[in-house]
Amino acid sequence: MHIDAAMLLSMSMSSLPVPPDEQPDAGEPRTDRRDAEQPSTGEPAGAKEGVLRSAGAVYGLLATLLRHSSRDLSLTSLATLSTLSRTGPRRITDLAAVEGVTQPSVTTLVTNLERAGLVERRSDPADRRVVLVALTDAGADYIHTRRRSSVEVFSALIELLPPDEAAALAAAVPALERLRALDDAHRDPAGR
C-alpha cells in the first residue's frame, strides 16, 4: 500500500474529536470505533491506532521540516532532484512513474530545472537514442545543502529531548530507514 501525504493527514486527524453529528445521543453509551476489532485484519483497534499514531507523528515531523525549509522549488521538483541524487540519471518516463506524475508534467519540470542549472539532459551511453536526465554539480550541491540544513533543524530539536526520548528515537532509525526503502521499492519496482 502506498501511503501519500493525504493519507497521512487523514491518519493524523484520527485523534480529532468526534463531530457532533456522529456523537451518541444523551443517555446512550459511547462506543469508540477505535476500540472495536478491525474487520479487515482481525487486529485489535489498539494495534491499528498505534500504527496510525506513528504515521501521524512521522507526518508531523515532515510538516515541521517543510515549515523550516526554503520554498524556492516545488515539492515535486525537490523530490525529482532527490530521486536523481539517490538513483543517478533517469529517463523522463521513469521519473514520471517514480514521482507519480504525468510525463508531460515531468518534461516541463525538467525543462525548468535545466534552465535553473540543476539538471542536464544527456545521451544514454547504452542507447544513444535515449535521453537521460542527470543532476549537474549545482543540482547535487543544492540537494546536499538542503539535506544538511534539514538535518541541522532536526538535530537542534533532538537535542531538546530528554535523553531517554532521544535514545528511543535513535533506536527507531532502522525502522525509519526500512520505511523509506519500502516506499522506494513501491515507487520504483525496477529498483534503479
Cβ neighbours for 157, distance < 8 A, ≥ 6 positions apart: 64
Are residues 120 and 45 both part of a single domain? no
Say how far apart CA 170 and CA 192 lie, in whole Å: 28
Q: Is residue 18 part of a domain?
A: no
Q: Is the overall model pTM greater than 0.85, yes or no?
A: no
Residue 131 pairs in a beta bridge with 123
Are residues 51 and 116 both part of a single domain? no
HEC per residue, 94-138: HHHHHHCCCHHHHHHHHHHHHHCCCEEEEEECCEEEEEEEEECHH
Q: Is residue 20 part of a domain?
A: no
**pLDDT tens string 107-165:** 999 999 999 999 999 998 888 889 999 999 999 999 999 989 888 888 898 999 999 99
Are residues 77 and 138 both part of a single domain? yes
Domain ranges, residue 63 = 1-11+38-68
Are residues 109 and 190 both part of a single domain? yes
Are residues 56 and 120 both part of a single domain? no
**pLDDT tens string 66-110:** 787 777 898 899 999 999 999 899 999 999 999 999 999 999 999
